Structure 1
């Protein structure tokens, strides 16, 4: 039985080692997603788009049928309009996952409770935050409001 466990143990360690090395080289994705959640709650479109990758493009889908990779300044304008039309009740990170790959990527999900300005009923939506590790920091590669 000992002879059977050793190969399984070695294989398990071999699979976990790359994740441990990646975790040592990168800042925690959880902290990054929490920062994005704070900016989203504050309606800080400039802060969010300031986290764009070097190419300045973010895939944006606000659930209105128009999605695509656009320049950060266009993302900022769309987010300002979204935040202007809605009053945020709360934002909290609900999920964070490292996906792997080169460059390293991952994603987080935010639970966003908001209401249209002047309306008392609130609704909760998920906000998908796609991230890529670039230049020694996490960057926002994708934002999707899932309705």
Structure 2
């Protein structure tokens, strides 16, 4: 199937996609900060520039959009109907890069929690999960 918008319009749309400080990330940051935890953001010398880094605890929270990171068995991660070959390749590479970064962080002694977009709907449950991770 062919893209339904012009190349120029598609470029404008994709240009607005943020890599950090996303709405999802901001929700998680507010929850963690409100619970009294302090963290560093997007630490450049760590693999993948993780979203939230807790150096004293050697823990990392990564916030992933279900579509962009291909969350398994999630309705939010469905494949677009246009330019399927492009998207399949791009999203598979994103997922592969996530796995490589997770392996590298684990080898360096970090414990990583991935928070998915679809989990943010249950804010109370998410907060319990974040606190359990940070205290465990």
Shorter-chain TM-score bucket reads under 0.3
Q: Which has the higher strand share?
A: 1
Query: Structure 2 length as normaliser, TM-score?
Result: 0.26
Q: Which has the higher helix share?
A: 2
Query: Structure 1 length as normaliser, TM-score?
Result: 0.25
Greater relative contact order: 1 or 2 (C-alpha under 8 angstroms, separation 6 or more)? 2
